[in-house]
């Protein structure tokens, strides 16, 4: 989703602003722009399309200056055109502003502005209306004020006053040609972080944009405004109170967000899974007590024992991890568990009991729908916990406790390593709750051993990437794909279908295998392969029936199975993808990985932009 970078310091702002935007590319965007204050005026370059286009503009017609703002836009109001790209200006042309989020009452503000004075709007965006509003308030208040120090305070006040009139969400950065070495930021619902450097400071939507320059960060809260200069910053609330924020150290370095020798971030992240899975359980397993230790939940054993119901909420891949979690938690702990789409949950009146625990699952920790579900649960008085990857993200900060994934930065738009980390963490939660109830020491030990064996099995699996590639390349002419699985592997069918859709743009659906005969079978034809996720488990023979039903209708079959399953599927499946044998409870971590690779290799074979698939954004901060 949209990205913001701001810089004020002694270096040329242009290269830093562009570099920051490149590092935010993974968030998804369709246009980009820069505004740099050059002496007494603001120079802007912006265009629809990729950052490479903006770089070219900057190279042909450089903009000089040591402070400025930049933006990648993911269209919400108005088409992705040069005019609609940010930054936008006020009527005077001196104030430039970039904005993430949505100003819901922009039409009304626009109307009022037009009634009051002359305004010439050049775009269809809500952002330009906001720029005009801030500019007008500033110009009115700064008339006749000669002390330049007062101008800084007046600009902050103008933004504060404008935002008090706004209904909606925003992450904002702003500069004014008359106020040297000064940028102003604000956030509500759209993340914004301040990077604290030496004689230079930064603003960014996420720290990956600025981690190459500084690892000292201040995470702004909703309703914060920040005035940033080279050597100082001041945070205040929308209500005008002074903020007291501490500086945190960013957990990762610029090196961690490099592609290294991999052609794509997605492939790098798939290959990082032996390590990320290990990090998700590091220090969290107790062989002695045959259980998991999750101190971050901030709950006493008595409180954990009293949990009567669990709601797991999230979106997309995180929701699929939640679905695996539902099977696992009910199986291991027998605690009634439900999975809710965050976007639905937050608006409906789900029956909840006082002993319900709500988990918000989110890699980014910033997804608007998941955050909305979390806040709604809190409003109703339920204990809410986060399962997040981004440390200090809004969901992580606003929940009552939680479990960090520690998966490291995930840059590929298609989530991979975060999914397996989420599944591992949900297994730990099931184990912990189970061991507090009826789960025996032997069963607990069995789960721990299965978890501990995972990294090595994943290593083994990754060695078969070329074989999976060969299978994927056979299906470049497929018109779409169906994915089937049962029990814990049903959510894997959904996740595999999502991966395929996202990066190959092929039509794909996931279903419980047995649902085939209730309708889906009508789709089966030679051009539409079916992928069955069928380890040799208790439901293997049932899956086999479904495979035969597809085969009888000439549908090609790809089976993801274990060695013993493969022996039974010889001559039945057209292609076999092998996974190592493991306890059923951890099998989803193993079955999903070859399907991530399958989607990846097919997307590459089809010439798709794997890391930046069309229309998608990594962190979805609008509803
Ligand atoms: C799929 C994908 C999305 C995200 C979803 C939630 O590959 O990346 O479906 O899983 O937007 O994002 P987070 O986990 O950041 O809340």
2 catalytic per annotation: yes
Kindly report the protein residue whose alpha carbon is nearest to atom 10 of ligand 1: 317
- What is the Cβ-side half-sphere exposure of residue 539, based on CA atoms within 13 angstroms? 17
Query: Which CATH number belongs to the domain containing residue 592 in this structure?
Result: 3.40.50.10490
Q: Is the CB of 550 under 6 A from ligand 1?
A: no
**Average pLDDT value for residue range 508-534:** 95
Q: Is the CB of 364 under 6 A from ligand 1?
A: yes
pLDDT band at 455 (very low <50, low <70, confident <90, very high): very high
**Average pLDDT value for residue range 442-465:** 98
The pLDDT tens digits of the residues spanning 120-176 come to: 999 999 999 999 999 999 999 999 998 888 999 999 999 999 999 999 999 999 999
**Which residues lie closer than 8 Å to 431 by C-beta, 6 or more apart?**
291, 292, 332, 439, 444, 447, 448
Q: Which atom of ligand 1 is nearest to the CA of 390?
A: 15
The Å distance, Cα 317 to ligand 1 centre, comes to 5
The Å distance, Cα 453 to ligand 1 centre, comes to 27
pLDDT band at 79 (very low <50, low <70, confident <90, very high): confident
Q: What's residue 352's pLDDT?
A: 86
Q: Is the CB of 388 under 6 A from ligand 1?
A: no
pLDDT band at 559 (very low <50, low <70, confident <90, very high): very high
Chosen domain end from 461, 489, 504: 461
Mutate to test the pocket of ligand 1, among 359, 620, 622, 623 (most ligand atoms within 8 A of CB): 620
pLDDT band at 622 (very low <50, low <70, confident <90, very high): confident
Q: Is the CB of 370 under 6 A from ligand 1?
A: yes
Q: Which atom of ligand 1 is nearest to the CA of 618?
A: 8
Q: Is the CB of 415 under 6 A from ligand 1?
A: yes
Q: What's residue 76's pLDDT?
A: 76
Residues 63 and 103 in one domain: yes
Residue 257 has pLDDT above 90, yes or no: no
In whole angstroms, give the CA distance from residue 578 to residue 490: 18
Extract the runs of DSSP E, i.e. beta strands, from 101-241: 170-176, 183-188, 193-196, 201-204, 216-219, 224-228, 233-237
Active-site residue, from 2, 278, 315, 388: 2
Residues 221 and 316 in one domain: no
Q: Is the CB of 502 under 6 A from ligand 1?
A: yes
Total number of domains in the chain: 3
**Average pLDDT value for residue range 378-398:** 93
Q: Is the CB of 524 under 6 A from ligand 1?
A: no
Residue 487 has pLDDT above 80, yes or no: yes
Query: Which two tokens mark 535?
Result: 């380890």
Residue 256 has pLDDT above 90, yes or no: no
Q: Is the CB of 405 under 6 A from ligand 1?
A: no
The pLDDT tens digits of the residues spanning 333-345 come to: 999 999 999 999 9
Mutate to test the pocket of ligand 1, among 343, 415, 613 (most ligand atoms within 8 A of CB): 415
Q: Is the CB of 620 under 6 A from ligand 1?
A: yes
Q: Is the CB of 206 under 6 A from ligand 1?
A: no
The Å distance, Cα 620 to ligand 1 centre, comes to 8
Mutate to test the pocket of ligand 1, among 265, 315, 496, 596 (most ligand atoms within 8 A of CB): 315
Kindly report the protein residue whose alpha carbon is nearest to atom 3 of ligand 1: 316
Residues 171 and 232 in one domain: yes
pLDDT band at 485 (very low <50, low <70, confident <90, very high): very high
Residues 272 and 222 in one domain: no
Instruction: Give the 3-state secondary structure of residue 552.
Output: coil
Residues 479 and 342 in one domain: no
**Average pLDDT value for residue range 169-189:** 96
Q: What's residue 383's pLDDT?
A: 96
Q: What's residue 205's pLDDT?
A: 93
The Å distance, Cα 585 to ligand 1 centre, comes to 23
Q: What's residue 351's pLDDT?
A: 83
pLDDT band at 472 (very low <50, low <70, confident <90, very high): very high
pLDDT band at 189 (very low <50, low <70, confident <90, very high): confident
Mutate to test the pocket of ligand 1, among 28, 265, 318, 423 (most ligand atoms within 8 A of CB): 318
Q: Is the CB of 394 under 6 A from ligand 1?
A: no
Residue 623 has pLDDT above 80, yes or no: no
Residues 168 and 277 in one domain: no
The pLDDT tens digits of the residues spanning 235-254 come to: 999 999 998 889 999 988 88
Q: Is the CB of 315 under 6 A from ligand 1?
A: yes
Q: Is the CB of 276 under 6 A from ligand 1?
A: no
Q: What's residue 325's pLDDT?
A: 98
Q: Is the CB of 127 under 6 A from ligand 1?
A: no
Q: 445 and 288 in contact (C-beta within 8 Å)? A: no
Q: What's residue 434's pLDDT?
A: 98
Kindly report the protein residue whose alpha carbon is nearest to atom 6 of ligand 1: 315
User: What percent of the chain is predicted at pLDDT more than 70?
Assistant: 100
Q: What's residue 508's pLDDT?
A: 98
Q: What's residue 293's pLDDT?
A: 96
Active-site residue, from 152, 501, 612, 618: 618
The residue range of the domain holding 359 is: 260-461
Q: 557 and 532 in contact (C-beta within 8 Å)? A: yes
Residues 250 and 327 in one domain: no
Q: What's residue 524's pLDDT?
A: 93
Residues 438 and 526 in one domain: no
The Å distance, Cα 497 to ligand 1 centre, comes to 14
Residue 249 φ then ψ, to 5°: -90, 130
The pLDDT tens digits of the residues spanning 278-304 come to: 999 999 999 999 999 999 999 999 999
Q: What's residue 366's pLDDT?
A: 92
- Helices (H), ranges, 42-105: 51-60
pLDDT band at 392 (very low <50, low <70, confident <90, very high): confident
Kindly report the protein residue whose alpha carbon is nearest to atom 9 of ligand 1: 316
Residue 614 has pLDDT above 90, yes or no: no
The Å distance, Cα 385 to ligand 1 centre, comes to 18
Tell me which residue has tokens 């933006």: 71
Kindly report the protein residue whose alpha carbon is nearest to atom 5 of ligand 1: 316
Q: Which atom of ligand 1 is nearest to the CA of 617?
A: 11
Q: What's residue 395's pLDDT?
A: 95
Residues 253 and 281 in one domain: no
In whole angstroms, give the CA distance from residue 445 to residue 287: 7
Residues 497 and 407 in one domain: no
The Å distance, Cα 483 to ligand 1 centre, comes to 19
Query: Which two tokens mark 142?
Result: 């700064």
Mutate to test the pocket of ligand 1, among 27, 265, 317 (most ligand atoms within 8 A of CB): 317
Residues 547 and 572 in one domain: yes
The Å distance, Cα 316 to ligand 1 centre, comes to 5
Extract the runs of DSSP E, i.e. beta strands, from 420-486: 480-485
Chosen domain end from 222, 242, 257: 257
pLDDT band at 447 (very low <50, low <70, confident <90, very high): very high
User: What percent of the chain is predicted at pLDDT more than 90?
Assistant: 89
Mean pLDDT across the chain: 95
Q: Residue 410, exposed/middle/buried by CB under 10 A (0-12, 13-18, 19+)?
A: buried
- Which of 213, 219, 210 is CA-nearest to residue 187? 219
Query: Which CATH number belongs to the domain containing residue 139 in this structure?
Result: 3.60.20.10
The pLDDT tens digits of the residues spanning 197-240 come to: 999 999 999 899 999 999 999 999 999 999 999 999 999 999 99
Q: Residue 332, exposed/middle/buried by CB under 10 A (0-12, 13-18, 19+)?
A: buried
Q: Is the CB of 592 under 6 A from ligand 1?
A: no
The Å distance, Cα 26 to ligand 1 centre, comes to 13
Q: What's residue 244's pLDDT?
A: 84
Chosen domain end from 403, 432, 461: 461
The Å distance, Cα 73 to ligand 1 centre, comes to 19
In whole angstroms, give the CA distance from residue 168 to residue 105: 7
Residues 33 and 143 in one domain: yes
pLDDT band at 25 (very low <50, low <70, confident <90, very high): confident
Preceding peptide of 242 cis, ω within 30°: no
């Amino acid at each position: 989703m949209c990205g913001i970078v701001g810089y004020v310091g002694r270096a040329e702002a242009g290269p830093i602003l562009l570099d920051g935007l490149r590092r935010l590319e993974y968030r998804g965007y369709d246009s980009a722009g820069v505004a740099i204050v050059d002496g007494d005026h603001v120079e802007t370059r912006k265009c629809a399309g990729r950052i490479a286009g903006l770089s070219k503009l900057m190279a042909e017609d450089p903009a000089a200056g040591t402070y400025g703002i930049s933006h990648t836009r993911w269209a919400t109001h108005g088409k992705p055109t040069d005019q609609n790209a940010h930054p936008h200006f006020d009527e005077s042309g001196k104030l430039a502003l970039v904005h993430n989020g949505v100003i819901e009452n922009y039409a009304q503000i626009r109307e009022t502005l037009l009634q009051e004075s002359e305004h010439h709007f050049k775009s269809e965006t809500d952002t330009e209306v906001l720029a005009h509003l801030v500019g007008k308030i500033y110009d009115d208040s700064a008339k006749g004020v000669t002390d330049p120090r007062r101008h800084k305070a007046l600009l902050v006040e103008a933004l504060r006053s404008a935002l008090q009139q706004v209904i909606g969400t925003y992450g904002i950065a702003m500069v004014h040609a008359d106020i040297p070495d000064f940028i102003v930021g604000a956030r509500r619902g759209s993340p914004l972080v301040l990077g604290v450097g030496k004689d230079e400071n930064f603003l960014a939507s996420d720290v990956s944009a600025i981690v190459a320059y500084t690892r000292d960060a201040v995470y702004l809260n909703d309703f914060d405004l920040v005035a940033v200069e080279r050597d100082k910053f001041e945070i205040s609330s929308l209500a005008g109170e002074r903020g007291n924020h501490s500086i945190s150290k960013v957990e990762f370095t610029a090196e961690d967000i490099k592609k290294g020798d991999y052609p794509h971030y997605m492939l790098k992240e798939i290959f990082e899974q032996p390590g990320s899975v290990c990090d998700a359980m590091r220090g969290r397993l107790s062989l002695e007590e045959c259980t998991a230790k999750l101190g971050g939940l901030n709950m006493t054993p008595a409180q954990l024992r009293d949990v009567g119901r669990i709601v797991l909420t999230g979106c997309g891949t995180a929701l699929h991890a939640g679905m695996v979690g539902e099977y696992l938690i009910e199986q291991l702990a027998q605690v009634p568990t439900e999975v809710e789409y965050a976007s639905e949950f937050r608006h409906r009146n789900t029956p909840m009991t006082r002993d319900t625990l709500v988990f918000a699952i989110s890699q980014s920790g910033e997804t608007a729908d998941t955050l909305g579900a979390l806040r709604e649960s809190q409003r109703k008085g339920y204990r809410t916990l986060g399962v997040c990857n981004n440390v200090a993200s809004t969901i992580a900060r606003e929940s009552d406790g939680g479990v960090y994934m520690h998966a490291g930065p995930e840059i590929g738009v298609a989530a991979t390593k975060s999914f397996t980390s989420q599944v591992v963490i949900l297994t730990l939660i099931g184990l912990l709750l189970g061991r507090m109830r009826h789960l025996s020491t032997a069963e607990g030990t069995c789960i721990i051993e299965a978890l501990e064996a995972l990294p090595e099995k994943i290593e083994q699996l990754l060695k078969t990437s070329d074989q999976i590639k060969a299978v994927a390349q056979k299906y470049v002419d497929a018109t779409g794909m169906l994915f089937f699985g049962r029990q814990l592997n049903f959510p894997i069918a959904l996740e595999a279908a999502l991966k395929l859709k996202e990066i190959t743009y092929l039509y794909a659906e996931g279903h419980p295998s047995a649902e085939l005969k209730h309708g889906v079978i009508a789709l089966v034809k030679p051009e539409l392969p079916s992928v069955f996720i069928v380890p040799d488990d208790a439901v293997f023979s049932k899956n086999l029936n479904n495979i035969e039903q597809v085969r009888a209708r000439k549908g090609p079959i790809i089976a993801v199975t274990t060695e013993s399953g493969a022996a039974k599927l010889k001559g039945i499946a057209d292609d076999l993808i092998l996974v190592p044998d493991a306890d059923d409870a951890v099998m989803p971590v193993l079955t999903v990985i070859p399907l991530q690779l399958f989607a990846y290799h097919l997307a590459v074979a089809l010439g798709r932009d794997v890391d930046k698939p069309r229309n998608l954004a990594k962190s979805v901060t609008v509803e």
